[in-house]
């Protein structure tokens, strides 16, 4: 379960889009306060999105490296279940890392 204070890609996208909409309303109506608050909210959303991606990338890297280590240890000790579990963790970590790689 994630902490509500942790960055979230969903919340980051939501803030970013909401900020853009608010800024556009400000542009259309000439309300500078809406323009400014929309820009700020958009920037905050983009920052949260980037933080969530960085966190996901780091978690994926940790799992990828840990899985590789587990796989090697399983191979050396002859424990096939550890080797298989390590391979699975390594693959899952690589997928998570790739999904959160900077664009």
Residue 1 lies in a domain: no
Task: Please check whether residue 4 lies inside any domain of the structure.
Answer: no
What sign has the CA pseudo-torsion 63, 58, 1, 103? negative
- Give the helix ranges, DSSP H, for the chain: 9-29, 32-77, 80-99
Asked if the structure places residue 16 within a domain, the reply is yes
pLDDT, one tens digit per residue, over 22-65 is: 999 999 999 999 999 999 999 999 999 999 999 999 999 999 99
Number of domains in the chain: 1
The pTM for the full model equals 0.75
Domain of residue 91, residue span: 9-99
Please report whether residue 17 resides in a domain: yes
In whole angstroms, give the CA distance from residue 37 to residue 18. Answer: 10
3 in any annotated domain: no
């Amino acid at each position: 379960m994630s902490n509500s204070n942790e960055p979230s890609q969903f919340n980051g996208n939501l803030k970013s889009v909401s900020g853009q909409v608010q800024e556009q309303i400000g542009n259309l109506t000439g309300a500078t306060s809406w323009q400014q608050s929309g820009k700020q909210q958009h920037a905050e959303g983009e920052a949260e999105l980037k933080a969530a991606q960085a966190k996901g990338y780091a978690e994926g890297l940790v799992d990828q490296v840990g899985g590789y280590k587990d796989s090697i240890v399983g191979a050396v000790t002859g424990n096939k279940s550890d080797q298989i579990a390590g391979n699975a963790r390594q693959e899952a970590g690589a997928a998570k890392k790739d999904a959160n790689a900077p664009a």
